[in-house]
């Protein structure tokens, strides 16, 4: 470790903005979630527990807001004060948005969260010292801190239950931050296999746990760089561009007849998750 | 209301000050015991938290920072006035600082040490803290130099080391005095070692002055930068209520403010405990009080600036957060902060109270409370009311663990500080001597002029 | 005052010396920094000697042949003949018992030797041999054997003994396996920082874009050979 | 950390490969342990067994009876995760949260591990299987068929066949098939109107779906299948997005996704249906006559749905065809449930949807394997028998009546009257605790089996269930194996050729190889192929549906007047993952928030804010809900999606047993249900219970995911919404 590496490597270590940064190639993982299809059934959240070794914290800790669900379903009501919500509720699956200019990355004192070449926002458990600055600076509040040592806590993974733990995902001990990883263990395995065969990952070859389980298929996931991928086509159809903070839709609200938007885009984190607005029929 | 006597014998100064090292009033021991008890509480809570996990502090997932960070800022802030008194006023040749700058510096050092503790207390994995230190390591990776938290660590470390140096260098002549006046024992050995063979030769004095002055000059910008950097922990983040350009001056002002208030408190305590009535005189108190009053007004102004800049910022979320502080669950604390920070100091504007020790004691305590609340009001409401409504916080009330550790930190500070005052001269003997000497010269000169004038009349 | 100056000079000297030492140390990552994630290193900078249920003689199987004393020499068997999983999976694993028997049932010469006896006891009992793990890394470290073998043996055609030996040392001279290299982060990183010629195949676009996250920018020589570093993306090994 | 309880060694025994342990990273104390860990390697390894490479086995999900096909990820001999099997027409590669949690049923620490004899000490004495079988034989000795009762949940496939044979061996007819929350009334009504119990419905083909309380996205029939149809329905055919109208008194998950949700007065769903027929004005003959009285003024008065709303619906149904009308639990749960259902089905026929969006489903050509559908009337019968002391020996499998039967039925006491009670159980649930003999079952992932789903999506199919890994507990047995052993006690001759249930199943399938499309294929090949597919598809027989609308015998009662003493109506709502409470002890389900209230780990009562204001109830107040048959205390949650005269408590929680994750969480509304039954089918009328609510004065903080901002977005663009005229679906991909 020398100062020269530090200086040489400096520019490579920091990817502050998708535009003045090198473009992603060959991979940029991104998502598109159709809120009109999402029924709010929570299957994705459970699948996430199963795939990523999330601890079940129990009632008391949940009450203290120390729940660890990487993927939460939010339920919103109309705010027009009618007696009944007679146009139903609005469900929103919210997980780490894998921002291109992630507010969490710049503030971590030890660089435990970084931007990866395939456009993810990595979280390195064994590097984390638990300053929790990343969570403090996350606009979406999708980072979850290990307030207790769950592996050794009663009834989190008692005998037999621990056999279900996914060996590809590190089980987190106390004092580290964690968050949705877009199922990086699956992505990296697919990338590695593809590499062995001298090709890039095909569209649909790899799925995130939540996408795989989503009953109405509201979640589309794939490689944004690949022009043939579904997710790329969806982003294109909605005219949502990764590196912009004002999209075609925002220019003419509603008039554009587009549904695609990214949450808190005005803060310019350039999220990798595009949502498609929920629709309600005007005829009834 | 009498000031230090100009005809006071230098031997008496030595005697009085050294006396403070020997037997202070009973109150000293009382304070010491109380302090140790408080530290005990703090250590207990920390041990519990360390073993069980941060969860016992009852922070939750949107609301990940609590009283630890608030207290951290508070203690950093407190450290500033020491530098102000000793360094800035030193350069300004304000001679009234001379009897009190020593303990002010001590306060700086020890409050920094206390602040440092909170870093460890706050970390989820304190045992891995060395990851944040930029040293050439086996893993072949550096910490993240973009993170304000890292700048923090560096700035504080620098500030701590240099203020220790400043304190020590400034003490060398006095240590020599102690060395010469102590009867043999471990203390004498200690002073001998620390005095670095000071003999008071002209050459030594010359070098001494140069060194002292250099460090002083170095320290002032450092002090300012330190709290600006602490401020940037917040200002450089993206959160509503934090992302405000006026934060650095705001923090520095707050720092000086709480520091001066603390000095008043300690002034009054030391004055009594170590029988320094003759040195820490009321005129000096008056001067500090006036200084504090001035700073309190600056702080109030900057506080309003903060609100104004949020208001003109046209960021609805930031406005919400601000209003949340005033009218939300944190309202009582926010308003008592305004009361303690901006209303109470008005008392200090009245001559009558400026030298009224009991009143000033209470006032100074209230000011410190206000400043502590200010730090809390900067940290918590933003978490409770950030950008994302879904995660707005329900009941995030710090658990006894957090309170216990904050409580303990005050004990820790008192322990270190009183220990220091018992072990080292908390009034700078040589500077007091200078002071009275210069003053006597001045008066003599004045008297001389008078006589001359009288003669001329004839 | 003099003492004061001397003292400070001394201190600065010390610090300089320390950091200098640290730098060298890091370059040849052979010393322990007292960090919990570092391997325990014995005096000779190797892992502890480990007692295995069967004292497997690597030198006999993998060692070089000995012209004049064949019985002393080895059989130069390819590592991947037994450690067959290494090229197909992230973890090398341990060969199944079946593998040993496959050959040894037809090797009468050593059939009566105590080790082989023991081997067949396990086989007859259909019991797995409780091998002890020799190369253990912390559980949050995920070394991928397949990738390294694919690159260095199948893409760059390096001899398997060099490729495997780079991390496992000269196992062919050992009896029971033992950790010969300090398998620590700095040690891995050192290698990732070295320049490697990379081929355009394997999903790597020729301009080396896939390496933009490496320690250094890839360089393309006149002959079009891309030289790049290994990845320094933390998520490669820590997931 | 490794030494602090979470034993890594044990872990490795199963895991096999140290290098791939799911590690306790980040704890800072994971040290390198050269030569400490034992690496258990295979003795013989198939060539597809590669460390750290997962293998997928197909099987069938047993979390509920809908027969989704699963594909389990198995690695180093442990099943890690369940995915859907794309081959199945029912779930098409998808799997709901409930199904995902199947692994937690399998690995559950509270499973019964040994046969327990509970006659002596209530804690139970561990005995061997031989002893257990001996005991059963002894108890059955000299007992006539009429004195034996077999209570089970829904069953199908070869298990059902075997069960039948066993019962026949006594000449026993008392097989009671009980499901606490099955759509039994709807089945009966369908049988009447269409001629089949469960037709095949195509939401995706409909332009308008008018659902009377059918929670087809949450818990009705086959949510996994319908959710996928729903997605296509929303995408719409050629840009014409489907419209969903939900009519119910308490908003279900489906209601929350509706374009228009109508809070109808409880029990008047049928009236609304007739009102719509009336408004359509297309009805003829006796139908026209039957709906004559139901002009929109009256209907709107009865139902609380505005007249213009009725017109709008009628207009929409006219304009956009084909449409689809569904009838679900909200409509059937009344004393006149059958009538409600009939009226609603009538609407479907009038709209001419039969044959378009409602079609005949394929059925398996082996009637003996066809599913035995559970209902609550069965429990009635059993309970009656028990009360009269008719039954000397009671067997119970896959049902927990002590928990799900209304206290008014006094089932627990009546059960005690049976001489000898055998319960086949996974956990010591409420019913198992009443048993004399508890026999531990294999988990759904350890057992063999075959299932015929009640709802057939496309062609007919039989789902194969196979073990995904070795048994965790040596002494558990599959239900098939147990039955086989029991049958052998009776007819050893016919069955001795089967070593175990596996052999029986294999033989039974191969016998009909030809019907399963295995004509001329070698047995082993066909068998392996079948297992690897996990499904047997076969040419099912499909009958025709009667599309003829007839209002014969259709009489709807006027809406019941408000009872002064019990002014409110209690609707026990069905949570999409907890259902009737058989899965409550799976922590993932306990901790996954209820979609509408986001409450976890506890029960709650939903009260409309308006009503709450009247009663002075605020969120978190512990209220006492009193019915004629008892009372429960539960936290209040103000919920806008509910009729003001209705309160709702979710089913599934409130266990008094069933292990650490279920016991003492929440309350059990089954207990206070009135024993009112549907007039025609004798089904328990779940929605008829009338209650009153009173504050107890206690208050708690409701444990939920939703923050203090509630469902508000505070003017931020987080989950915005567009009307259809502002969207152009044709642009989308």
Residues D251, D268 within the same domain: yes
B387 interfaces chain D, CB cutoff of 8 Å? yes
Do D350 and D234 share a domain, yes or no?
A: yes
* Contact criterion met (CB below 8 Å) for D597 and D375: no
Are residue D279 and residue D338 in the same domain, yes or no? yes
Residues of C in contact with A125 (CB under 8 A): 140, 238
Tokens of C190: 């050192």
Q: How far apart are CA D127 and CA D117, in angstroms?
A: 7
Arithmetic mean of pLDDT, B7-18? 81
Q: Give pLDDT tens digits for B418-429.
A: 999 888 988 888
- Residue A2 pLDDT > 80, yes or no? no
Structure confidence at residue D233 (pLDDT): 92
Query: B10-136+145-435 in CATH: which number?
Result: 1.20.1630.10
* pLDDT of A211 over the 90 cut: yes
Determine the average pLDDT of the residues in C3-19: 71
Phi-psi region of D666 (alpha: psi -120 to 50; beta: other; left: phi over 0): left
**Least confident window among B12-16, B198-202, C18-22, D53-57:** C18-22
D174 lies in the same domain as D188: no
CB D667 within 8 A of CB D570: no
pLDDT in tens, D11-43: 333 333 333 333 333 333 344 566 677 777 788
Q: Could you tell me if B147 and A107 are in contact, meaning their C-beta atoms sit under 8 angstroms apart?
A: yes
Pair (D342, D378) in one structural domain: no
CA distance D202 to D37: 56
Contact D80, D52 (CB under 8 A): no
Subunits with 3+ Cβ pairs within 8 Å of A are: B, C, D
**Residue A151's closest CA among D600, D27, D586?**
D27
Give mean pLDDT, residues C49-55. 87
As given in the structure block, the two tokens for residue B192 are 């001998």
pLDDT in tens, A79-138: 888 889 999 999 999 999 999 888 998 899 998 998 888 889 999 999 999 999 999 999
Residue B103 contacts residue B270 (beta carbons within 8 Å): yes
DSSP states of B233-251: HHHTS--TTT--TTHHHHH
Tell me whether residue D708 is in a domain: no
Closest D-chain CA to C49: D35
Q: Which two tokens stand for residue B115?
A: 């602040």
Instruction: Measure the CA angle with vertex A161, ends A155 and A162; round to 5°.
Output: 100
Check: CB of residue B73 under 8 Å from CB of residue B380.
no
Tell me which residue has tokens 């049928």. Answer: D270
Strands D460-465 vs D621-627: parallel, antiparallel or unpaired: unpaired
Fold of the A21-276 domain: Alpha-Beta Plaits (3.30.70)
| Contact present, D583 and D101 (Cβ < 8 Å) | yes
Higher pLDDT, C207 or D243: D243
Cα separations (Å) of B447 from B5, B6, B237, D386?
16, 14, 62, 120
Is B149 within 8 Å of A109 when comparing Cβ atoms? yes
The pLDDT score that the predictor gives to residue D235 is 86
Quick one: average pLDDT of A27-36?
93
Q: What is the pLDDT of residue C21?
A: 55
Q: Find, in chain C, the residue whose alpha carbon is nearest to that of D16.
A: C93
Contact assignment for B147 to A107 by CB distance below 8 Å: yes
Task: Record the tokens describing residue A157, joined without a space.
Answer: 């993974």
- D228 with D342, same domain: the answer is yes
Compute the distance between CA of residue D497 and CA of residue D510 in angstroms, rounded to an integer.
15
Q: pLDDT per residue over B357-379, tens digit each?
A: 899 999 999 999 999 999 999 99
DSSP label of D559 = P
Selecting from C146, C210, C214 the residue whose C-beta is nearest the C-beta of A26 gives C210
Domain that includes residue D414, residue range: 116-179+374-441+476-511
Residue whose tokens read 């702080």: B299
- Look at residue D138 and tell me if it is in a domain: yes
Give the residue from D359, D382, D415 where a domain finishes: D359
- The count of structural domains within chain D is 4
- Flag residues of chain D having pLDDT under 50: 1-31
Tokens of D162: 């075997």
Find which of B61, B392, B395 to mutate to test the A interface (most A CBs within 10 Å of its CB): B61
Q: Is residue D622 part of a domain?
A: yes
Task: Please tell me the number of Cα atoms within 13 Å of D34 on its side-chain side.
Answer: 22
Tell me which H or E stretch contains A76. strand A72-76
Whichever domain contains D74, its CATH number is 2.20.25.90
CB neighbours of residue B36 within 10 Å:
13
Contacts 24+ apart (CB under 8 A), B431-438: B431/B98, B431/B99, B431/B101, B432/B4, B432/B13, B432/B98, B432/B99, B432/B279, B433/B10, B433/B13, B434/B95, B434/B98, B435/B4, B435/B95, B435/B98, B435/B99, B436/B4, B436/B5, B436/B6, B436/B8, B436/B13, B438/B95
User: How far, in Å, CA of D277 to CA of D218, rounded?
Assistant: 28
In contact, D553 and A21? CB cutoff 8 Å: no
Helices (H) and strands (E) in chain B, counts: 16, 0
Q: Among C139, C212, C239, select the one facing A188 at the smallest CB separation.
A: C239
D327, D189 contact by CB (below 8 A): yes
Q: The CATH number of the domain where D390 resides is what? A: 3.40.50.740
| HSE-up of residue B139 (Cα within 13 Å, Cβ side) | 19
Residue A85 sits at φ, ψ, to 5 deg, of: -75, 70
Q: Report residue C27's pLDDT band, with 50, 70 and 90 as the boundaries.
A: very low
Cβ distance D149 to D415 under 8 Å?
A: no
The region that residue A141 occupies, defined by phi over 0 for left and psi between -120 and 50 for alpha, beta otherwise, is left
Is D111 contained in some domain? no
- Chain A: nearest CA to D568, how far in angstroms? 18
Given CB atoms, is B61 within the 8 Å cutoff of chain D? no
- For A77, phi then psi, to 5°, come to -105, 160
Specify the range with the lowest mean pLDDT, choosing from A83-92, C15-24, C168-177: C15-24
Judge: B128–D28 Cβ closer than 8 Å, yes or no: yes
Residue A5 pLDDT > 70, yes or no?
Answer: no
CA B21 to chain centre: 23
Q: What is the pLDDT of residue A19?
A: 52
pLDDT over 80 at A12, yes or no: no
CB B41 within 8 A of CB B411: yes
Please tell me whether residue B413 adopts helix, strand or coil conformation. Answer: helix
Phi, psi torsion values for D163, nearest 5 degrees = -60, -45
Q: Is residue D38 within 8 Å of D17, Cβ to Cβ?
A: no
Over the stretch C95-142, which tens digit does the pLDDT of each residue have? 888 889 999 989 888 888 889 999 999 999 888 888 888 888 888 888
For residues B110 and D163, what is the distance between their CA atoms, to the nearest angstrom? 81
For residue C215, the model assigns a pLDDT of: 63
Q: Which CATH number goes with the domain that contains D674?
A: 2.40.40.20
Confirm or reject contact between C190 and chain B (CB < 8 A).
Answer: yes
Q: What tokens were used for C69?
A: 């004393």
Select from A1, A107, A130 the Cβ nearest to the Cβ of B140: A1
**pTM of the entire structure?**
0.91
Residue D547 lies in a domain: no
CA atoms B432, B433, B435, B440: torsion sign: positive
Six-digit token string for B256: 């000086």
CA distance B405 to B411: 10
Reply yes or no: is the peptide bond before residue B437 cis, omega within 30 of 0: no
In the predicted model, is pLDDT for residue C26 greater than 70?
no
DSSP state of C202: T
* Chains touching chain D, criterion 3+ CB pairs below 8 Å: A, B, C
pLDDT in tens, B134-169: 888 888 888 888 899 999 888 888 999 988 999 999
For residue C179, list chain D residues with Cβ-Cβ distance below 8 A. Answer: 34
Q: Rounded to an integer, what distance in angstroms lies between the CA atom of residue D459 and that of residue D430?
A: 39
For D609, what's the count of Cα atoms within 13 Å in the CB-facing half-sphere?
Answer: 8
Give the dihedral sign, CA C103/C104/C108/C113: positive
Both D195 and D151 in a single domain?
A: no
DSSP string, D667-714: --GGGG----B-TTT--B-TT--EEEEEEEEEE----BSS-TTTT--T
β-bridge mates for residue D250, sequence order:
D642
Q: How many other CB atoms are found less than 10 A from the CB of residue A22?
A: 13
Closest CA to D104 of D463, D577, D703, D670: D577
C-alpha A165/C-alpha A186 separation (Å) is: 15
ipTM of the complex: 0.90
3 state DSSP class of D315: helix
Q: How far is A188 from chain D (nearest CA, A)?
A: 14
pLDDT level of residue C28 (50, 70, 90 thresholds):
very low
Predicted pLDDT at B245? 86
Axis-axis angle for helices B101-122, B67-83 (nearest 10): 160
| Tokens at B277, concatenated | 């009535």
Q: Kindly give the interhelix angle for D501-511 and D479-495, rounded to the nearest 10 degrees.
A: 70
CB D16 within 8 A of CB C89: no
- For residue D603 the two structure tokens come to 């029960």
Cross-chain residue pair A25–C234, CB shorter than 8 Å: no
Query: D85 and D145, same structural domain?
Result: no
Judge contact between D103 and A50, C-beta under 8 A. yes
Joined together, the tokens standing for residue D612 give 């709450």
Asked if the model's pLDDT at residue C35 lies above 70, the reply is: no
Query: With 0-12 CB in 10 A as exposed, 13-18 as middle and 19+ as buried, what is C113?
Result: exposed
**CA-to-CA separations, D650 to B62, B100, D546, in angstroms, rounded:** 29, 70, 37
Can you tell me the distance from the alpha carbon of D609 to that of D612, in angstroms, rounded to the nearest whole number? 5
Secondary structure (DSSP) of D111-142? B--S-EE-SSSTT-EE--HHHHHHHHHHHHTT
Main-chain phi, psi angles of D373, to 5 degrees: -85, 130
Residues D268 and D394 placed together within one structural domain of the fold: no
């Amino acid at each position: 470790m020398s100062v020269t590496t530090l200086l040489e490597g400096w520019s490579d270590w920091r990817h502050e903005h998708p535009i003045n940064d090198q473009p992603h190639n060959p991979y940029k993982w991104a998502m598109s979630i159709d809120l009109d299809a999402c029924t709010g059934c929570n299957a994705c959240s459970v699948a996430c527990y199963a795939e990523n070794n999330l601890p079940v914290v129990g009632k008391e800790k949940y009450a203290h807001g120390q729940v660890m669900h990487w993927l939460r379903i939010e339920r919103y009501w109309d705010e027009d004060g009618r007696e009944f919500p007679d146009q139903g509720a609005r469900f929103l699956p919210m997980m780490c948005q894998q921002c291109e200019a992630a507010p969490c990355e710049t503030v971590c004192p030890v660089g435990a969260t970084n931007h990866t070449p395939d456009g993810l926002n990595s979280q390195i458990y064994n590097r984390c010292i638990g300053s929790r600055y990343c969570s403090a600076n996350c606009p979406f509040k999708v980072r979850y801190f290990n307030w207790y040592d769950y592996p050794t806590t009663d009834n989190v993974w008692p005998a037999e239950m621990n056999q279900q733990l996914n060996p590809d995902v590190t089980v987190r001990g106390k004092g580290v931050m964690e968050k949705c990883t877009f199922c990086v263990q699956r992505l990296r395995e697919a990338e590695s296999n593809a590499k062995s065969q001298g090709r890039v990952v095909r569209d649909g070859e790899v799925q995130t746990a939540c996408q795989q389980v989503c009953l109405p298929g509201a979640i589309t996931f794939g490689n944004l760089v690949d022009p043939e991928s579904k997710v790329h086509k969806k982003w294109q159809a909605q005219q949502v561009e990764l590196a912009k903070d004002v999209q075609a839709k925002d220019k003419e609200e509603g008039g554009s007849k587009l549904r695609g938007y990214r949450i808190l885009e005005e803060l310019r984190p350039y999220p990798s998750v595009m949502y498609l607005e929920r629709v309600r029929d005007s005829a009834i | 209301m009498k000031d230090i006597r100009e005809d006071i014998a230098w031997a008496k100064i030595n005697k009085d000050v050294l006396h403070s090292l020997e037997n202070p009033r009973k109150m000293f021991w009382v304070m010491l015991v109380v302090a140790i008890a408080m530290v005990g509480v703090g250590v207990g809570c920390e041990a519990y938290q360390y073993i069980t996990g941060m969860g016992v502090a009852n922070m939750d997932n949107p609301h990940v920072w609590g009283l630890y960070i608030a207290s951290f800022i508070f203690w950093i802030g407190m450290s500033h006035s020491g530098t102000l008194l000793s360094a800035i006023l030193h350069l300004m040749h304000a001679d009234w600082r001379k009897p009190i700058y020593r303990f002010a510096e001590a306060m700086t050092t020890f409050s920094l040490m206390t602040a440092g503790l909170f870093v460890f207390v706050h970390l989820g994995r304190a045992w891995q803290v060395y990851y944040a230190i930029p040293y050439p390591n086996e893993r072949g990776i550096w910490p993240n130099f973009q993170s304000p938290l890292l700048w923090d660590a560096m700035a504080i470390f620098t500030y701590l080391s240099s203020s220790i140096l400043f304190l020590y260098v400034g003490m060398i002549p006095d240590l020599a005095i102690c060395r010469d006046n102590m009867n043999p024992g471990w203390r004498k050995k200690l002073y001998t070692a620390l005095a670095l063979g000071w003999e008071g030769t002209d050459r030594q004095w010359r070098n001494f002055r140069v060194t002292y002055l250099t460090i002083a000059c170095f320290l002032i910008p450092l002090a300012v930068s330190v709290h600006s950097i602490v401020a940037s922990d917040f200002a450089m983040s993206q959160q509503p209520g934090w992302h405000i350009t006026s934060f650095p001056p705001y923090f520095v002002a707050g720092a000086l403010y709480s520091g001066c208030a603390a000095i008043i408190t300690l002034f009054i305590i030391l004055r009594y405990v170590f029988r320094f009535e003759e040195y820490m005189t009321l005129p000096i108190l008056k001067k500090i009080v006036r200084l504090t009053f001035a700073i309190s007004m600056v702080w109030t102004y900057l506080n309003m600036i903060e609100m104004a800049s949020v208001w003109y910022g046209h960021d609805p979320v930031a406005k919400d957060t601000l209003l949340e502080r005033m009218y939300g669950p944190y309202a009582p604390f926010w308003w008592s902060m305004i009361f303690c920070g901006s209303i109470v100091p008005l008392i200090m504007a009245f001559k009558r109270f400026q030298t009224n020790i009991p009143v000033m004691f209470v006032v100074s305590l209230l000011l410190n409370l206000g400043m502590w609340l200010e730090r809390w009001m900067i940290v918590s409401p933003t978490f409770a009311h950030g950008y994302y409504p879904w995660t707005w916080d329900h009941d995030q009330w710090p658990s006894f663990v957090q309170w216990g550790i904050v409580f303990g930190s005050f004990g820790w500070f008192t322990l270190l500080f009183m220990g220091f005052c018992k072990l080292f001269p908390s009034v700078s003997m040589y500077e007091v001597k200078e002071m009275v000497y210069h003053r006597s010269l001045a008066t003599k000169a004045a008297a001389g002029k008078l006589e001359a004038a009288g003669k001329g009349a004839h | 005052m003099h003492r004061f100056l001397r003292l400070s000079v001394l201190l600065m000297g010390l610090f300089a010396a320390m950091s200098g030492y640290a730098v060298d140390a890091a370059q040849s990552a052979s010393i322990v920094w007292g960090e919990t994630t570092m391997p325990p290193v014995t005096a000779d900078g190797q892992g502890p000697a480990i007692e295995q249920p069967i004292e497997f003689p690597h030198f006999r199987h993998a060692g070089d042949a000995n012209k004049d004393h064949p019985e002393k020499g080895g059989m130069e068997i390819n590592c991947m003949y037994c450690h067959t999983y290494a090229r197909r999976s992230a973890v090398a694993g341990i060969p199944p018992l079946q593998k040993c028997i496959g050959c040894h049932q037809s090797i009468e010469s050593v059939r009566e030797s105590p080790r082989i006896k023991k081997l067949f006891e396990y086989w007859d009992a259909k019991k797995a041999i409780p091998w002890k793990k020799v190369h253990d890394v912390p559980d949050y470290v995920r070394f991928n054997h397949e990738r390294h073998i694919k690159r260095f043996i199948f893409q760059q055609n390096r001899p398997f003994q060099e490729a495997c030996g780079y991390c496992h040392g000269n196992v062919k001279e050992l009896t029971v396996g033992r950790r010969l290299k300090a398998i620590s982060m700095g040690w891995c990183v050192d290698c990732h920082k070295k320049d490697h010629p990379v081929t355009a195949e394997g999903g790597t676009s020729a301009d080396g874009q896939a390496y933009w996250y490496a320690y250094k920018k890839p360089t393309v020589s006149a002959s079009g050979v891309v030289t790049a570093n290994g990845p320094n993306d933390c998520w490669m090994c820590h997931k | 950390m490794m030494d602090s309880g979470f034993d890594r060694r044990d872990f490795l025994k199963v895991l096999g490969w140290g290098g791939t342990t799911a590690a306790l990273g980040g704890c800072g104390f994971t040290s390198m342990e050269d030569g400490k860990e034992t690496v258990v390697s295979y003795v013989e390894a198939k060539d597809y067994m590669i460390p750290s490479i997962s293998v997928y086995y197909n099987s069938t999900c047993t979390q509920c009876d809908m027969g989704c096909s699963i594909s389990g990820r198995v690695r180093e001999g442990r099943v890690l995760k369940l995915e859907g099997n794309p081959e199945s027409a029912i779930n098409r590669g998808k799997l709901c949260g409930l199904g995902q949690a199947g692994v937690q049923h399998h690995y559950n620490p509270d499973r019964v591990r040994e046969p327990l004899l509970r006659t002596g000490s209530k804690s139970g004495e561990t005995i061997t299987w031989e002893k257990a079988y001996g005991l059963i034989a002894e108890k059955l000795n000299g007992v006539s068929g009429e004195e034996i009762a077999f209570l089970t949940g829904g069953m199908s496939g070869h298990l059902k066949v075997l069960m039948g044979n066993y019962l026949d061996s006594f000449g026993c007819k008392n097989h009671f098939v009980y499901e606490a929350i099955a759509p039994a009334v709807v089945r009966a009504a369908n049988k009447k109107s269409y001629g089949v119990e469960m037709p095949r419905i195509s939401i995706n083909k409909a332009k308008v779906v008018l659902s009377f309380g059918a929670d087809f996205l949450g818990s009705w029939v086959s949510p996994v299948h319908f959710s996928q149809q729903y997605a296509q329905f929303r995408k719409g055919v050629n840009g014409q997005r489907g419209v969903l109208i939900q009519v119910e008194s308490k908003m279900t998950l489906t209601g929350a996704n509706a374009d228009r949700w109508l809070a109808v007065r409880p029990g008047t769903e049928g009236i609304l249906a007739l009102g719509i027929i009336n408004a359509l004005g297309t009805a003829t003959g006796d139908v026209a006559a039957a709906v004559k009285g139901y002009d929109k003024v009256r209907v709107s008065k009865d139902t609380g749905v505005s007249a213009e709303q009725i017109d709008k619906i009628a207009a929409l149904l006219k304009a956009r065809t084909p449409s689809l009308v569904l009838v679900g639990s909200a409509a059937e749960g009344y004393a006149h449930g059958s009538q409600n259902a009939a009226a609603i089905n009538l609407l479907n026929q009038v709209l001419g949807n039969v044959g378009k969006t409602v079609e005949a489903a394929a059925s398996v050509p082996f009637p003996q394997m066809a599913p035995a559908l559970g209902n609550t009337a069965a429990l009635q019968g059993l309970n009656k028998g028990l009360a009269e002391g008719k039954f000397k020996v009671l067997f119970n499998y896959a049902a927990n009546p002590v928990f799900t039967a209304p206290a008014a039925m006094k089932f627990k006491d009546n059960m005690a009257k049976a001489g000898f009670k055998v319960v086949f159980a996974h956990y010591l649930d409420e019913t198992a605790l009443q048993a004399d003999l508890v026999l531990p079952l294999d988990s759904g992932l350890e057992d063999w089996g075959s299932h015929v789903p009640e709802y057939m999506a496309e062609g007919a199919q039989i789902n194969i269930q196979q073990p995904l890994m070795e048994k965790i507990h040596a002494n558990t047995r599959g239900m098939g194996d147990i039955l086989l052993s029991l049958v052998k006690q009776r007819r050893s001759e016919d069955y001795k050729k089967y070593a175990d249930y596996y052999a029986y199943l294999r033989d039974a399938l191969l016998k009909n190889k030809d019907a399963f499309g295995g004509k001329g294929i070698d047995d082993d090949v066909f068998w392996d192929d079948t297992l690897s597919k996990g499904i047997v598809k076969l040419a099912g027989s499909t009958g025709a549906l009667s599309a003829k609308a007839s209002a014969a015998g259709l009489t709807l009662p006027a809406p019941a007047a408000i009872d002064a003493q019990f002014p409110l109506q209690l609707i026990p709502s069905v949570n999409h993952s907890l259902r009737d409470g058989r899965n409550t002890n799976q922590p993932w389900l306990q901790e996954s928030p209820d979609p509408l209230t986001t409450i976890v780990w506890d029960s709650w009562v939903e009260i409309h804010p308006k009503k709450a204001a009247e009663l002075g109830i605020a969120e978190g107040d512990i209220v006492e809900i009193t019915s004629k048959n008892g009372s429960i205390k539960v936290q209040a949650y103000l919920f806008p999606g509910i009729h003001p005269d209705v309160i709702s408590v979710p089913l599934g929680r409130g266990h008094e047993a069933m292990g650490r994750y279920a016991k003492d969480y929440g309350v059990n509304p089954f207990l206070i249900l009135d024993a009112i039954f549907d007039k025609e089918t004798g089904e328990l009328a779940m929605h008829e219970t009338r209650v009153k609510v009173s504050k107890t004065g206690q208050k708690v903080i409701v444990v939920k995911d939703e923050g203090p901002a509630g469902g508000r977005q505070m003017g931020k663009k987080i989950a915005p919404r567009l009307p259809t005229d502002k969207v152009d679906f044709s642009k989308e991909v």
